[in-house]
Chain A
Amino acid sequence: MLEIKDLYAEVDGKPILKGLNMTVNPGEIHAIMGPNGSGKSTLSNVLAGRPGYEVTSGSVIYQGKDLLELEPEERAGEGIFLAFQYPVEIPGVSNMAMLKAAVNSIRKYRDEKEMPVGEFLKTIKEKAAFVEMDPEFLKRSVNDGFSGGEKKRNEILQMSMLQPTLALLDETDSGLDIDALKVVSKGVNALRSPDRSMVLITHYQRLLDYIVPDFVHVLSNGQIVKTGDKDLALKLEAEGYAWVDELESQAKEQGAA
């Protein structure tokens, strides 16, 4: 599904990703943890194609295609979805309007017919109910004046509508109370299937009680320095990242050797 090889990327001329390797197979859930500023959001932005995030070397192959060659909207068309760590507020465009444009743009990209209006309305209402969102939010401008939790829930609503093949969730659990966390998990788990994959970026092991990952990676200083199963998250929570620094220096020494 996704193969990231020796990826280096810069933001504003500052190297952030420094030789990152990661492979995600269909049906897998990967969690990425790591200290603040280690490059987690940078990775998700690079995968979604955000302007200003410059890949200086390495490759990303997604479903046999060179992902880095595609425009952001083409990546969405190919089934990639990024739930933003900080969703943008867009006054003047309703959630409903944006989602309709999104659904139909993606269908057009795939040479499919537009979704009939009736079906769209029915689907979006179902999805809103599923993520326990008041239907009034559909008419409101995208994220405009939404609380932190409402914004995150809105990302999950969009994800449920767009049914991505590869979902990247950047700290969708941060700042959520337990009820909202359950809603987010419900949304993610509903999407789980043998041909879909997800990458969850998180600081909290708590999320992984609800969405059990196949792999947990530690990203530190622009590299994946350790990979394990869900127990790694428990260890990280208990012991912090200090021992990861050691791993990092070990990795460096090995590189130098």
Chain B
Amino acid sequence: MTAAFKQTMTNALLLPQEANITLPGAGQAWLDKLRSTAAEQFIKSGLPTVRDEEWRYTDIRKLKRQQFSVQFNSPDVRAALNDLIDYDVTRIVLVNGLFSPTNSTDKVPAGVSIQSLAITLADDSLQGLLGSTLPSDRHAFIDLNTAYCFDGVVIKIADKAVLEKPIEIVHVTTGADNATVSHARNLIVAGKLSEAHIIERSISVGADNAYLNNTVTEVIAHDGAKLEHYKVQDDAEHAFHIGGVFINQSRDTSVINHNIAIGGSLVRNDIYSNLLGTGSHGGMNGLVLGKDSQHVHNHTEVAHRVPHCTSDEFYKTVLDDKSRAIFRGRIIVAQDAQQTDAEQRNDNLLLSSDAEADSKPQLEIYADDVICSHGATIGQLDPKSLFYFQSRGIKKEDARRLLTFAFVNEVVDRISFEPLRDELTQRFLGELLPDSIQEVFA
């Protein structure tokens, strides 16, 4: 199959066997089956094209033209990580998709176990967990990630453990002679009544060439668990980022995903929240800041499978220059899911006449006793507000920046972990506001 596959599909991305990579845990039937099924699915569906409805506006030819290789070195990047933030976290570092003990903390708080995926795959402890959250209509990159299932991090939070410090997973891509790809795969299992903040960041250190960050994080929340999952995507401006976050929630859980997309040239996120137990809440809070010719496509899906769940989705986009953003927000309310309360908003702010936003809710409601509201806007800054500020002496350009910051800040305000909220506020202040009015918000 390999030769034919390469010719017909693309040279861009190779399955592990074609890249001659031996995978950890190989030989276990359950794992071999998981990987080979994914590989077959990958071959069958092939990389998406604009002829696929879900990729109609996201052309990945630029990505396909690249010749990627998997990078197996994991240099010491602690110096670069030192100034990243000024608050305390339990830090786990994945360098080029590989769990890096050197760069990670060795102090793991009580009630948590943190392990590299590669090590965990030595036995069958993840059987039935790994891959259990993935949707059936997934795209080829997710299958490619599963086919690789090489490394990443497995975080297990014990029942009733309440973590004071957040756990931070930093995806670092380092420099290489040619374009590289990583397929990090993470699994987060939150025990009953546990509570935690988990921050996932992606950054690059000296990565001057193109790279593809193809990551998948699965989240399983057991009864009563409360999780805030933050994804701060800050990849290099020439990076491709394809990320999946798949969340399964049991009863009385609350899981909120915050999806902050800043970096990358071509970005696609698939965020799925499966409400599988009653009394649960799924939150999706998203922010896209596009500039230059960035392309960011967020595909979200909230599935209400059972009664009495709530969901709240709030996505905002600010596009400058020639950037482009696509939002697809699917809400499924199954026939049994009575008393559902689902809300979705997507507001897009265009700062340039060359920027383009495309927003589409997709509602599939099979129950009759539900509240489901959605709304989308695409527009420029409100001229009335601009004039109001100007009439108070604020320069037009400053007024524009103030209003843009205010727009962005509504998403940042929803971040409940204060140090991260402050970090992002300060960052956007610096990027969006002139010095003269920055301190106003201090």
Q: Which A residues lie at the B interface, using CB under 8 A?
A: 48-51, 71-73, 75-77, 81-82, 84, 87-88, 90-93, 96-106, 108-109, 114, 117, 141-142, 158, 162
Contacts and interface: CB of A to CB of B under 8 A. Distances in A.
B387 A72 contact: yes
Interface string B395-413: 1101100110111011000
B406 A101 contact: no
By DSSP majority rule, is chain B's interface helix, strand, loop, or mixed? Answer: helix
A12 to B, nearest CB: 13
B392 A104 contact: no
Interface stretch (B44-52, B59-67, B233-241, B434-442): B434-442
Contact of A88 (B388, B398, B402, B440): B388
B390 interface: yes
5 contacts: A51-B387, A76-B390, A91-B406, A98-B402, A101-B398
Given A98-B394, A102-B392, 20 more contacts: A48-B387, A48-B391, A51-B383, A72-B387, A73-B390, A73-B391, A73-B395, A73-B399, A81-B391, A88-B384, A90-B406, A92-B409, A93-B402, A96-B440, A97-B402, A101-B389, A101-B392, A101-B402, A105-B392, A108-B436
A72 B406 contact: no
A92 B410 contact: yes
A80 to B, nearest CB: 8
A104 B403 contact: no
Given A50-B387, A88-B384, A100-B440, A109 B396 contact: no
Interface in B342-396: 382-385, 387-396
A91 B408 CA distance: 11
A84 B388 contact: yes
Nearest to A161: B392
Contacts of B407: 92
A103 B437 CA distance: 10
Residue of A72, A81, A99, A108 with most chain B CB atoms under a 10 A cut-off:
A72
Contacts of A105: 392-395, 398, 436-437
Interface residues of B, number: 28
A48 B388 CA distance: 10
Contacts of A92: 403, 405-407, 409-410
Contacts of A75: 391
Contacts of A91: 406, 410
B393 A162 contact: yes
A106 B391 contact: no
Contacts of A87: 388
Given A51-B383, A108-B436, A90 B393 contact: no
Contacts of B410: 91-92
A88 B385 contact: yes
A100 B213 CA distance: 43
B402 A104 contact: no
A105 B434 CA distance: 12
Contact of B385 (A77, A90, A100, A106): A90
A106 B387 CA distance: 15
Contacts of B382: 88
Nearest to A76: B393
Nearest to B383: A51
A32 B270 CA distance: 60
- The 9 closest A-B CB pairs, nearest first, are A92-B406, A76-B393, A72-B390, A106-B393, A102-B392, A97-B440, A88-B388, A100-B440, A105-B393
A72 B441 contact: no
A169 to B, nearest CB: 13
Contacts of A104: 436-437
Nearest to A45: B387
Contacts of B406: 90-93, 141
A117 B405 CA distance: 21
A90 B396 contact: no
Nearest to A77: B393
B389 A98 contact: yes
B388 A76 contact: no
